Every structure is written in structure tokens, then in C-alpha cells.
Amino acid sequence: MARAGTLAAWPEARVARAMRAWRRGAGPLEPWFRATPFAAACHYRDRTLPIKHRDSPPRAVETLLGLLPVPERHTLWIFDLPGPLALRLAYALRQQRALTAALAWNGWYDPRGVLDGREEISLLLALGAKLEHAPARGAYLLLDSSRHAEPRSARLDNRYALDEEDVPTFQHLAAMSVKRACVWTWSTPAEDLAAYLAYLAGRLPVMVTADIARRVGHDG
């Protein structure tokens, strides 16, 4: 019998409901919302993983929320933050500003991997279950900076880098009437993101706020 409060109590249909709740409202950014982390949850080897979250957001989330401007439909927001913090921010933005995160995450989590996904899976499911009826009126691109986590010995290397299919092109952005981009990164933009931002800067104004960790703290 599936143990309540653990991943074992989350069959594929229940995981899919959480995914749809996160994805609802992604609008024109929906093609970049990845099902990969949810599929990884369905196949995760540790079915005893607790599925829970703390009620109050981390201080880093509250601080970061205070730094954000008012959303503007011609501006694409991009965040590149550590997975757990990114999900807590995404939940807060959905609840407080009705903004949906297009989760451009390709991490296939494994308890033996560099990206073990224990916190991410728990938050994706626990928070997703609370988003089913949350309003959604806008969207932004959310990246997981943990994709470049430091490797650990004797660990499966399941890290990844962004490629051209993970982010929208000029043509896609023009179709969305995007005229500028605002970017927040946890540290200095990694090589893959830096290349994309340089690409965007060839056609659009791009404002990058780097090293957010120094401004909001490290409790994410």
C-alpha cells in the first residue's frame, strides 16, 4: 500500500495533474515548458521520498520579489536560479501576480545523480497540487542554474546545458511582441545562458541582474 506523504502515493495521473497546474497560463511560452522533471518523478527510484513543503517562503524569495518591477507584456522575464529557490519563487509569483513559469528544465533526476532532484520533485508535486485553481495571466522563462552543479565523485553525471530548443528564438519572441528582456541570475551567467543572452542582445535590449545570491541571501 502506498505510504501517504511520499512519492509512492503519487501515481502518474496525479503527477500529470501537478504538471498541468504548473503549465496552465504559459501561453505562447508553453512550447518551452518541459515535462522532463515530472517524467523523472514518475520513474524516480526512491519512492519513499517525502512530498512536502514549508508554508512560509524562504527569506530569499521575499527579498527577490521586492526587487522585481511591475510585469509588462512586451518584456520577457528570464530567471536562472537554483531549482528549489526557483520553484518557491515561481509559486509566489503565481499566487501573488498570476504569472506562470515556463519551466525550461531538462533534468532527469536520479537519487544516484549529481542532480538528485529530491527537493525539486517534492516541491514540483506539493506546490503543483496547490496551484490547480490559481489564476494565470502572464508567463516568463524559468531556468534551473543547478544544471551546472559541481560534480561529486561516484555520482551519475546527469547535468545538462541549454541548447537551441530550450529557449525561444528571435522569430518566436517577435511573434509574442517581445521588445526587451530582463534577466536575473543567481551568479555570473553560465556559458550556455551567456550565449543565449548575447544572441538576444543582437536584436533586443537585454538587462541582466547577475549575482542575485549576494543581494537576497543563500537560504533558497
User: How does pLDDT run across 113-164, given as a tens digit for each residue?
Assistant: 999 999 999 999 999 999 999 999 999 999 999 999 988 776 899 999 999 9
In a domain, 183, yes or no: yes
| pLDDT of the residue at 1 | 44
Could you give the percent of the chain with pLDDT greater than 70? 97
How does pLDDT run across 40-80, given as a tens digit for each residue?
999 999 999 999 887 778 889 999 999 999 999 999 999 99
Structural domain of 88 = 7-148+155-216
The three grid cell numbers given for residue 64, joined into one nine-digit string? 527577490
pLDDT at 193 over 70: yes
The three grid cell numbers given for residue 43, joined into one nine-digit string? 520513474
pLDDT at 85 over 80: yes
CA 121 to chain CA centroid, nearest Å: 12
Locate the DSSP E strands across 82-153.
99-103, 138-144
In a domain, 105, yes or no: yes
Q: Model-level pTM? A: 0.95
Could you give the percent of the chain with pLDDT greater than 90? 89
| pLDDT of the residue at 2 | 58
Distance CA 74, CA 72 (A): 6
pLDDT at 219 over 80: no
Number of CB atoms found within 10 A of residue 205's CB: 11
- Identify the three-state secondary structure at position 120: helix
Composition of the chain by helix, strand, coil, percent to 5: 40, 15, 45
The widest CA-to-CA distance across the chain, in whole angstroms, is 56
pLDDT at 92 over 80: yes
In a domain, 1, yes or no: no
Number of domains in the chain: 1
Distance CA 201, CA 189 (A): 14
In a domain, 2, yes or no: no
In a domain, 66, yes or no: yes
Q: Are 6 and 50 in contact (CB under 8 A)?
A: yes
Closest CA to 194 of 158, 149, 148, 136: 148
Distance CA 163, CA 183 (A): 18
Locate the DSSP E strands across the chain.
75-81, 99-103, 138-144, 180-185, 206-209
